[in-house]
Structure 1
Amino acid sequence: MVTSPDLDRGTPLRQAADAARHIARICFKTGPPRRTGVELEWTVHDAADPARPVDRERLRAALGRHSPTTIDSSSPAAPLRHGGAVTLEPGGQLEISTAPRASLAALIETTDADIAQLSDLLRAAGLVLGRTGIDPWRTPRPVVESPRYRAMRCVFDRQGRAGRTMMYSTAGLQVCLDAGEPDQVAARWAAAHAVGPPLLAAFATAGRHAGRSTGWASARMAAWLAIDPARTGPVWSPARPGADPVAAWTAYALAAPLLCLRGDDDADWTPPAGVTFGDWIAGALSRPPTTDDLDYHLSTLFPVVRPRGYLEIRYLDAQPGRDWRLPLAVLAALLADPDTVARATTLAAPVADRWHAAARYGLADPALARAAADLLDLALTALPRLDLPAPLHDETTRGLRRRRAVAEEGPR
């Protein structure tokens, strides 16, 4: 990969080439693809009345010393017993972020333990974790406020109501995989995108929101896609399958409008409308941006696959109960080796750009159902390479076969 000397976080960026060098250095860290991580989000509900609002004070009391500082500035924000970091999304959704593990079995074991600990904390407070990718009962409402979240709301409101739905009502499952060796990065990047629409369709759980059917298989993804394609649309496209990932991500980042312009905590962080990071470098604002500003800007971009040194795969809905393991295993299996990566990309190619159809129709779309079934077959074939213990392998196999049967029953 292209590298550059380390830049101080306060170094001004006066040319787009400086930003490009910084992005190339931090966003695709190469090496053997060994580690896997996961980030799990859930809506949180009153156990007796899931439609009842849950406020930040109730969440703070339930989480105790694990409360993030966004709801308790004095909290130690202690990780869970096995290292999972607890954070809160603006609508009060809970998230566990794991440390990456070289063993998928170890990742699953430790994450299960952290989920059990979190569930126990919530249960003692009369709360439970949700089971779908969007709140089935409540309308969007803020629970956690911050200058960042207020600025996000203001900018997203320029495009309509989808931003508020995303911020306050959605819950996703993010799978984090190594970018791979330098000669593997482009293929792994392409595969992670290409398999997205059929896997979104296969694991869609977000059809009901605010007490009604939405008419979407994944209303969560529908909200994301409706916000702003310059910020949430895919970076890779089957129309340009061989595009260099670093160059594509750099162009995407510089062309994306600013979401937050940081200041004091009591300041308004809302940026001028339409000013991109490239515009900022070119002198659109009163001071030049720094490398720290660029790092923060990258954290405000939410494409379906985001490079963060590793590949953060963001298109999956939250899953009920233990089913979060299934899409994790599928993606780990499909990206287990170069031959499987190539085969997965080929199988997904006919539907690799059908994000909207996947969110709208899910497995009711014949082409998506066919691709999903084929990819699940491939994942089942590759599953033994993940070296899961026999009970976990058997449980995962049964779960994937059930999902494959659902895809097979879809329109053909």
Structure 2
Amino acid sequence: MPNRTGAASQETSSAFTSAAEAAGYVSDHCLRAGALGPVGLEIEAHCYDLANPVRRPDWDELTAVIAEVPALPGGSRITVEPGGAVELSGPPAADVVSAIEAMSTDRAILRAAFAQHGLGLVLLGADPLRRPRRVNPGARYAAMEAFFSASGTAAAGAFMMTSTASIQVNVEAGPQSGWADRVRLAHALGPTMIAVTANSPMLGGRFSGWCSSRQWIWGELDEARCGPVLGANGKDPASDWGRYALRAPVMLVPGPDAVPVTNWVPFADWADGRAVLGGRRPSRADLDYHLTTLFPPVRPRGFLEIRYLDSVPDALWPAIAFTLVTLLDDPTAADIAAEATEPVAAAWDRAAQVGLGDRHLHEAAVRCVAVAAERAPATLTESMQTLLRSVEQGRCPADDFADRAVEYGIGPAIRQLARGDS
């Protein structure tokens, strides 16, 4: 969730004249035809004080540490999430193995730089210890807080913004003739991959009752902004995204400062002139900004952003990234994945709550991870075998963290992970 507080200047001549025109603009630009292969990775990690895990490092402290990080050879960009989580966003790589190698190198350098200041970067889907608190002073995030409060989702919004972390996998949309099947599969894989990566069993110092508290939090936000994109049949994902975007309520009006919209105004109403925001009808810049405030599990941005994975440990995320990309990009693996996930393609809540404890999700996960493991290069053998063993045993990362927290206590468990203890 990058910090974007500015927007292009508004011109009357660029304003939309109708919601239909705005929807057409979204549909025409949301997917870009091209060859499969390039992959981008983004990894968010919670930042903890090794001496006092309850303390949340502040903005000045985080930015000072980041300023000292040497150039990252993989080209990753470092940003800070609203609650102080640190994100590495890698540039597109030629293939998933190259993306993994580059991100692994950059993450090792980043961790070492933070360790020099007594700080640790922990890969968990949700902060299990601290209460939500925003440290990023960006106007965008202050406006988001106001929007969530006005919409009756203040608590979920605060947890989402300041207490969750994910691994995001970005893949090409592929040839236009395959868009419908590809986007449908990206969604169908969601519950199975949520069950495989669930790694957030605790919030605010207690067990939440969900293997992926992160997914539960996102589910508590409005469906129009965070629910799946696909329409009734999923045959035209570009048009589905256009309809979704126009139905979603406007969160912020861009300008010198982001201005929250505290009543429910679908973007279609703004474009049609049924509602007036900022004293104008929306422009392309307004619509482009609106799209950055929509958080579905699969978001079209020319490419496909896969946003439903919990952040998982260094031993596992390379295998997770490889598995997901293989299931989408390898034609034979994609066919197997489509068949395996069909019975659980809509089991989003079930996957988040019980993880691999559901028999059908477990069966789908074993088939999907096994087919990816067969195709993994030697450099990923250890990570893939670790993931495959866990999945075969019906365990997700949340089980490992829960065991650690019960044995040592939450604070000590966090400190161990922040130090890099296995």
- How many Å separate the matches in 2 of 1:27 and 1:79? 32
Query: What are structure 2's unaligned runs of at least 5 residues?
Result: 1-8, 397-422
**What is aligned with 2:419?**
none
How far apart, in 2, do the equivalents of 1:136 and 1:408 lie?
A: 19
User: Deviation per CA, 1:178-199, whole angstroms, max 9, x where unpaired?
Assistant: 1110111111101110011011
Deviation at 1:207, TM superposition (A): 0.4
> Please, which of 325, 348, 354 is the counterpart of residue 355 of structure 1?
348
Secondary structure of the equivalent of 2:171?
strand
| Corresponding position: 1:29 with 2:23 | no
Query: In structure 2, what is the equivalent of residue 3 of structure 1?
Result: none
**Which AA in structure 1 matches 2:42?**
E
In structure 1, what is the equivalent of residue 328 of structure 2?
Answer: 335
Q: Distance in 2 between the 1:291 and 1:322 partners?
A: 42
**Whole-Å Cα distance in 1 between the matches of residues 220 and 31 of structure 2?**
27
- Contact 2:356/2:395, CA 8 A, preserved across alignment: no
What is the Cα deviation at residue 406 of structure 1?
2.4
Distance 2:173 2:68 in 1: 34
Are 1:45 and 2:48 an aligned pair?
yes
- Residue matched to 1:311: 304
Which residue of structure 2 lines up, in the alignment, with residue 269 of structure 1? Answer: 259
Give, as a single letter, the amino acid of the residue that structure 1 aligns with 2:380. H
- Matched-pair contact (CA < 8 Å) for 1:187–1:341: no
Number of the residue aligned with 1:175: 169
Q: Give the 5 Å matches for 1:68-87.
A: 80-87=72-79
1:204 to 184, 198, 207: 198
Per-residue deviation, 1:145: 2.1
1:372 is aligned, of 339, 358, 365, to: 365
C-alpha distance in 2 between matches for 1:339 and 1:405: 22
1:407 matched to 2:410? The reply is no
Q: Secondary structure in 2 aligned to 1:41?
A: strand
Equivalence for 1:254: 246
**Aligned-partner residue type, residue 355 of structure 1:** W
Letter in 2 for 1:116: A
Asked if 1 retains the 8 angstrom alpha-carbon contact of 2:81 and 2:161, the reply is yes
Name the structure 2 match of 1:397: 384
Q: Which residue of 2 aligns with 1:290?
A: 283
CA–CA distance in structure 2, aligned partners of residues 189 and 312 of structure 1: 10
* Contact 2:28–2:238 under 8 Å retained in 1: no
Partner of 1:190: 184
The amino acid that maps onto 1:369 is H
Partner in structure 1 of residue 3 of structure 2: none
CA contact (8 A) 1:44 1:54 kept: yes
- 8 Å Cα contact 2:337-2:368 kept in structure 1: yes
Cα distance between partner residues in 1 of 2:158 and 2:135: 12
Letter in 2 for 1:280: W
Q: Which residue in 1 is equivalent to 2:315?
A: 322
Provide the secondary structure at the position in 2 that maps to 1:39. strand
Q: In structure 2, what is the Cα distance between the partners aligned to 1:81 and 1:34? A: 21
Q: Which of the pair has the greater relative contact order for Cα pairs under 8 Å at 6+ separation? A: 2
Pairing of 1:65-104 with structure 2 (within 5 A): 80-104=72-96
Question: Are residues 104 and 9 of structure 1, via their aligned partners in 2, closer, same or farther at CA, if it must alter by over 3 Å?
Answer: farther
Does the 8 Å CA contact 2:68/2:113 hold for their aligned counterparts? no
TM-score by length of 1: 0.88
Distance (whole Å) between structure 2 residues aligned to residue 163 and residue 128 of structure 1: 25
For residues 304 and 390 of structure 2, the distance between their equivalents in structure 1, rounded to whole angstroms, comes to 25
* Pair 1:156 & 2:143 matched: no
Q: CA RMSD in A?
A: 1.9
* Cα distance change on mapping 1:353 and 1:79 into 2, 3 Å: farther
Q: Match of 2:364, as an amino acid?
A: A
Letter in 2 for 1:252: Y
What is aligned with 1:121?
Answer: 113
Distance 1:127 1:281 in 2: 47
Contact 1:207 1:219 in 2 (8 A): yes
Unaligned runs of 5+ in 1: 1-7, 67-77
Distance in 2 (CA, whole Å) between partners of 1:351 and 1:94 is 33
SS in 2 for 1:198: helix
Report the Cα offset of residue 81 of structure 1: 3.2
Q: Contact between 1:377 and 1:404, CA under 8 Å: does it hold in 2? A: no
CA distance in 2 between counterparts of 1:398 and 1:339 reads 21
1:92-148 Cα distance to aligned partner (Å, 9 max, x none) = 111011111113222111111110111111111110001311111111011112221
- 1:263 positional shift: 2.8
Shift of 1:379: 2.0
Aligned to 2:63: 60
Who is 2:415 aligned against? none
Letter of the structure 2 residue corresponding to residue 170 of structure 1: T
Match of residue 21 from structure 2: 18
Give the Cα separation in 2 of the matches to 1:29 and 1:81: 28
Deviation at 1:272, TM superposition (A): 4.0
Q: Distance in 2 between matches of 1:91 and 1:264?
A: 23
C-alpha change, 1:189 and 1:9, in structure 2 (3 Å) is farther
Q: For 2:308 and 2:95, how far apart are their aligned partners in 1?
A: 23
- Give the drift of 1:149: 0.7
Offset, 1:357: 1.0
Partner in structure 1 of residue 404 of structure 2: none
Q: Secondary structure at the match of 1:183?
A: helix
Conserved 8 A contact 2:19-2:269: no
CA deviation after TM superposition for structure 1 residue 282, in Å? 0.9
Q: Give the corresponding residue for 1:71.
A: none
Partners of 1:241 and 1:377 in 2: CA distance:
29
- Aligned-residue identity in percent: 38
Q: How many residues align?
A: 381
